[in-house]
Amino acid sequence: MKGGDIIKAIPKNFLIHSAKVRTPLKHNSFGEDEFSDDAVLRFVRLDYSLTDPLNGDDKTCGVLIYDCKNSSPPGFEFSVGQEISFGDCIFTACSVTPLFHGRGLHHIEVGLRRGAQPRLSLWRKAEN
């Protein structure tokens, strides 16, 4: 490619999924996260595995692809810790990787981990 060539947007016929995203806002008095209202993403791509071949719960098991031209809402901001739901599956964003071409942002890849983040109150050991 020549320096002035532009990479085309990811086509909408590849961006076949919709998903809901909740952003953690703060911890409540029980040490649990409180979340924003659902934001609906349209024209995204989710590729994931229901079985983890490495048998590790903390391993990335999928990716969400958000195209900066064709996905909506425009300019959505991703962050580690967001909960992403797709059908009956719930994922946690474990990485956010912006991918650039030239001077512009082309798309964002969000690494997904199965399930929601563990709640602090669920992991506390009973004290004797």
* Residue 20 in this model has a pLDDT that exceeds 80: yes
Q: What is the mean pLDDT of the chain?
A: 80
For 17-118, CATH number? 2.40.10
Q: How many helices (H) and strands (E) does the chain have?
A: 1, 8
Per-residue confidence band for 48, with pLDDT thresholds at 50, 70 and 90: confident
In single-letter form, the type of residue at position 94 comes to C
Tell me what pLDDT residue 59 has: 57
Q: How far apart are CA 67 and CA 84, in angstroms?
A: 16
Tell me what pLDDT residue 121 has: 38
pTM of the model: 0.77
Closest CA to 73 of 40, 117, 112, 34: 40
Q: How far apart are CA 16 and CA 80, in angstroms?
A: 23
